Amino acid sequence: MTKSRKKFDAAFKAKIAVEALRDDATVPELAKRHGVHPNPIYAWKKQVLDNAASLFARGASGSGDGEEERERETAKLYAKIGQLTVERDFLARRPGR
């Protein structure tokens, strides 16, 4: 029987990648400690290093803008759902159907 792949959440990946960046322990030691193969740890470490500049490029207001955008998009989608519900209900009550 084959084992299913483990799925790790972003917080776990970030925690392991930061530990790997600190160089307190080697990647194989971290892999053994956390029960993960060393290859994903190397990949997570590389992702952190590659994307570190983008964290600072957005500035302090970068995270707030994303939240506001998400709220606007959610409100727009709820409005569309309401419109489609009204149209469906109207068409369902039409005589002759």
User: Is 94 a residue whose pLDDT tops 80?
Assistant: no
Split at pLDDT 50, 70, 90, the class of 62 is low
Mean pLDDT over residues 11-35, rounded?
Answer: 94
Percent with pLDDT over 70 in the chain: 89
pLDDT in tens, 28-57: 999 999 999 999 999 999 999 998 888 777
User: Is 16 within 8 Å of 34 (Cβ atoms)?
Assistant: yes
Encoded tokens for 15? 């925690």
Burial of 20 (0-12, 13-18, 19+ CB in 10 A): buried
Give the pLDDT score at 61.
54
Give the pLDDT score at 52.
86
The beta-strand segments (E) located in the chain are none
User: Is 1 a residue whose pLDDT tops 80?
Assistant: no
pTM of this structure: 0.56
